[in-house]
Structure 1
Amino acid sequence: MNTLIAVIVIFGLLVFIHEWGHLIFAKRAGILCREFAIGFGPKIFSFKKNETVYTIRLLPLGGFVRMAGEDPEMVHIKPGYEIGLLFNDSGKVNRMIINNKSKHPDCKIIQVEKIDLEHDLIVQGYVDDNEGLTTYHIDEKAEYVYDEQATQIAPYDRQFGSKTVGQRAAAIFAGPLMNFVLAVVVLMAYAMIAGMPVDEPVVGDVTDDGAAIEAGLESGDRIVSIDGQSVDTWEEMTSIIQANPNETLQFEVEREGELFDVSMTTQEREGPEEEELGVIGVTAPMERNFGGAILFGFTQTYEYTVLIFEALGMLITGQFSLDHLAGPVGIYNYTGEVAAMGILVLFQWAAILSVNLGIINLLPLPALDGGRLIFIGLEAVRGKPIDPQKEGLVHFVGFALLMLLMLVVTWNDINKFFM
């Protein structure tokens, strides 16, 4: 249950922040955003605020912001159609009833001769044979109603394609950008809670079973020298200790302005590359300050970014195989393991996943934000957009291939789980 809660909270936050970035920048550009969705598939919950419907959907595999103009309109009103018109106080059409007109007895029924919902915002039609052609002006926020479902019209200046290259690129890039911002904020919170290591040769805490506690070292003691070699930083101190496993070393220690000598025999611990390292059972001193937390958030996010790019490079060059990739099942299992280690480790894991989501979405692959940015870049170079049908086909094929990759990775996850 803890794993499920952790996964829902972390992935919900990552997807929400990503899509929120798209939404905010799109709205600032004046784009009509029809839907802000977390998940895919059937709707579980929805509500409408202003012009946007906010939904939670069944399959928690991502999310989307549906911007006007990105997809063809679901309803096309053509000459010869009979529709019902409802008007606002200004005399403009604010609702067009496509079917089930009997449920709206107060609407004016016309036979459409001409309609323009993008530029002129007019509908022309005949009420009956005795009346001539009449022109009605349409409110820019009018809705058409089909099967009792209302959808706001999208004048051309509210559509994604009407905006400048810069505005569209910003709306697309904002999603991954917000994932990097989230990583920085989460790591700042981590630093403020856990503290940041200080690069001074000072004892932070003493473990219960190390050489330091046997020698009487206490929190706050400063190591001045080891075997006559002076040390000025935590890194210098630890490098000497680690290089001498199972060795007796002489430490000069300062405590409250007084110096004294102690002898300690280092213990042995396996390092990250399976080498033997010396330890004495002390931790680095920690500090908590807002300025340092900001710096820690940015530097740690940068380090995570570099590591992920290195991993991607190894995947491209064949040093990693697809077996090393983790899909939803694998990430679920890893999140459970991390959650068991405590909230602070979970903070770091959330930051890593957020950076990873930002980078993956920026890859120049069809159907991803990076692929869409490539098409916008090509438009900027060519001076005209790519044929929307061709671009749509490329994204469709790319999405299908991504789903295929997801299935392969998920199958590998399941196999690992039962091995």
Structure 2
Amino acid sequence: MNIIIAVLIFSIVVIIHEMGHFLLAKANHITVTEFSVGMGPTLLSTVKNDTKYSLKLLPFGGSCMMLGEDDNSEAEGAFNSKSVWARMSVIIAGPLFNMILAFFLSIIIISFVGSDPPRITEVEAGSPAAETGLKEGDLITRYEGSRISIGRDLYTKVNLDGIPSDNITLSYKRDGKTHDVTYVPDSEEKYMLGFTHESGENKAEVISLMPGYPLAKAGVQVGDIILELNHTVINSNQDLEDYMSSHPFSDDSVDITYQHKDRIHDATVTPRLTKNAALGFVFNLGREKQPPLLILKYSVKEIGYWIKTTVKSLAMLITGKFTVNDLSGPVGVVDEIGKTINSSRADGGFYVIMNLLNFMILLSANLGVMNLIPFPALDGGRLLFLIIEAIRGKGIKQEVEGMINFAGLMLLMALMVFVMFNDIRKIF
């Protein structure tokens, strides 16, 4: 059942993307030869108004095939017979429709469960943050040069970039006025494995990992359960907390036993010396109900958050902070959706639905942003060729563009195969 739901979610996101291309093609009087859902051999098809509508065997992806899309045909209704601006609108429509889908899904989620304003909930007494005048209830608007719209904005910034140990610069709003502060945080050096966990008596589950740190490098994943540290049995988060308090990490290696799904793994890692700084305050990550106008405002902020997170992750992939091993394809996405369903089931069907809609927002925004990368065979690559055509007044030779797109497609296919096998390796 989980797999069926996951495939359905993935398919909806892709179909909406292709629907964007389809509708703008029709609006610009471009002949759509085939609109298909899925890939591979055709299971069912029908023809209406010169367009073949197909359902295909593999429930991943889809396509919107247009007349003259890959040649210089000037026939009536051919893609290349239309103005460069018309063609640009067709290409942009796919990613744009993904953003529109994400926006409407955000409205649904925020209407029911609210959003997470980046409000300070507690300031540590006597901390440098308290000395600047920060108070409970202040709304963080900027942190280290980045605009902060929701609590997860700040959480992601802190989690991915860390807390600077020299100066923290932020802006906050109180009573309608914005204030700017800079302070030197309290800090200490300690050895870390690079993960976080919850508190209490539940199993010691890894809830986040720091890229480039020992546990992430060892192959541990979010959701894995820590069972032993240096052959000491860990039955709960409290056991883990007690062990790390009584046995501070050093530059000595640590033997760790952890559970990934139903399999037990052993690894030996060496903690990394890190200078840890403290913000000096706690901020909100909980959802708060919003009035109607703010629902729209926070829905826009929600999309902005996912776009920024996707771009940031892409930048970290390019700079080497993430590797291709961290990428997930359709197999990995289906697995993650299954995990989301299983982890939410205990809270009831309502929360299962809300979490799945949230996953759809992530997928849709991700697909929209990634498709705009100016890489051959992606929408962004095709858009780049059209921008060059608009500047030059004439297009690049079809043969040259075709060769470049074919090379890009081969590279993408190779990457997809690698990611698929990597997803399978991670699952098993």
Specify the TM-score bucket, using the shorter chain as the normaliser.
Answer: 0.5 to 0.7
1:263 corresponding residue in structure 2: none
- The amino acid of 1:48's aligned partner reads V
Do the aligned partners of residues 20 and 284 (structure 1) sit closer, same or farther apart at CA in structure 2, a change above 3 Å counting?
closer
In 2, the alpha carbon distance for the partners of 1:325 and 1:233 equals 38
Asked if the contact 1:198–1:287 (Cα under 8 Å) also holds between the matched residues in 2, the reply is no
Distance 1:16 1:201, change over 3 A: same
| Partner deviation per Cα, 1:55-76 (whole Å, 9 max, x = no partner) | 1111233211111111469xxx
The residue aligned with 2:94 is 175
**How is 1:12-411 mapped onto 2 (pairs within 5 angstroms)?**
12-71=11-70, 156-197=75-116, 233=137, 269=199, 286-340=288-342, 341=344, 342-411=352-421
The RMSD of aligned alpha carbons is: 3.4
Shift of 1:298: 0.9
CA contact (8 A) 1:338 1:346 kept: yes
Amino acid at match of 2:396: I
Answer yes or no: is the 8 Å Cα contact 2:45–2:54 preserved in 1: yes
CA distance 1:60–1:311, change in 2 (3 Å): same
Secondary structure of 2:38 counterpart: strand
Say whether the 8 Å CA contact 2:115–2:286 is kept in structure 1.
Answer: no
SS of residue in 2 equivalent to 1:57: strand
CA distance in 2, matches of 1:400, 1:297: 37
1:113 corresponds to: none
Report how far residue 31 of structure 1 moved.
0.5
Is 1:364–1:370's contact at 8 Å kept on the other side of the alignment? Answer: yes
CA distance in 2, matches of 1:366, 1:380: 18
Q: Contact 1:366/1:399 (CA < 8 Å) preserved in 2?
A: yes
CA distance in 2 between counterparts of 1:230 and 1:415 reads 47
Asked whether the 8 Å contact 1:16–1:38 carries over to 2, the reply is yes
- TM-score normalised over the length of structure 1: 0.60
Unaligned runs of 5+ in 2: 122-132, 141-150, 152-197, 201-206, 211-240, 242-275, 345-351
Letter in 1 for 2:137: T
Alpha-carbon deviation of 1:375? 0.9
- 3-state SS of 1:69 partner: coil
Secondary structure in 2 matching 1:6: helix
Deviation at 1:408, TM superposition (A): 0.7
TM-score (norm 2): 0.59
Q: Secondary structure at the match of 2:304?
A: helix
CA distance in 2, matches of 1:201, 1:287: 17
Query: 1:269–1:278: 8 Å Cα contact kept in structure 2?
Result: no
Distance in structure 1 (CA, Å) of the matches to 2:199 and 2:281:
7
- Deviation of the 1:290 alpha carbon: 3.0
Mapped partners of 2:321, 2:97: distance in 1: 30
Q: Quick one: distance in 2 between partners of 1:322 and 1:303?
A: 23
Q: CA deviation at 1:6?
A: 2.0
Say how many residue pairs are matched: 281
SS in structure 1 of the partner of residue 100 of structure 2: helix
Distance in 2 between residues matched to 1:283 and 1:365, nearest whole Å: 36
SS of the counterpart of 2:52? strand
Contact 1:269/1:277 (8 A) holds in 2: no
1:285–1:188 distance in 2 versus 1, CA, 3 Å? closer
Which is worse superposed, 369-378 or 53-62? 53-62
Which protein has greater RCO, CA pairs closer than 8 Å, 6+ apart? 2
Cα offsets for 1:182-209 (capped at 9, x unmatched): 111111110112133578899xxxxxxx
Q: Which secondary structure state, in structure 1, belongs to the residue aligned with residue 76 of structure 2?
A: helix
Structure 1 contact 187–300 (Cα < 8 Å) conserved: yes
Contact residue 71 and residue 398 of structure 2 kept, 8 A: no
Cα deviation for residue 415 of structure 1 reads 1.3
**Could you tell me which amino acid in structure 2 is paired with residue 313 of structure 1?**
A
CA shift, 1:157, in A, is 3.0
CA distance in 1, matches of 2:39, 2:280: 52
Q: Is the 8 A contact 2:7 2:60 kept in 1?
A: no
Structure 1 unmatched ranges of 5 or more: 74-117, 119-154, 203-228, 239-267
1:135 corresponds to which residue? none
Deviation of 1:288 after TM superposition, in Å, equals 4.3
Amino acid at match of 1:289: P
Structure 2: distance between partners of 1:288 and 1:50 = 45
1:117-161 per-residue CA deviation (whole Å, 9 max, x = no partner) reads x8xxxxxxxxxxxxxxxxxxxxxxxxxxxxxxxxxxxx7231111
Q: Give the 3-state SS of the residue equivalent to 2:43 in structure 1.
A: strand
Report the alpha carbon displacement of residue 50 of structure 1 after superposing the two structures with TM. 2.3
The amino acid across from 1:165 in the alignment is V
State how far apart, in whole Å, the 2-side matches of 1:198 and 1:306 are.
Answer: 17
Q: Relative to structure 1, is the Cα distance of residues 286 and 51 closer, same or farther in structure 2, using a 3 angstrom cutoff?
A: same
Q: Deviations over 1:210-244 (max 9, x none)?
A: xxxxxxxxxxxxxxxxxxx99662769x9xxxxxx
User: Which residue does the alignment assign to 2:230?
Assistant: none
Query: In 1, are the aligned partners of 2:113 and 2:287 still within 8 Å (CA)?
Result: no
Question: Aligned partner of 1:307: which letter?
Answer: T
Whole-angstrom CA distance in 2 between matches of 1:161 and 1:391? 13
Deviation at 1:410, TM superposition (A): 1.0
Change (3 A) 1:200 1:279: closer
Q: Secondary structure at the match of 1:399?
A: helix
The one-letter amino acid paired with 2:403 is L
**C-alpha distance 170-232 of structure 1, shift in aligned 2 (>3 A):** same
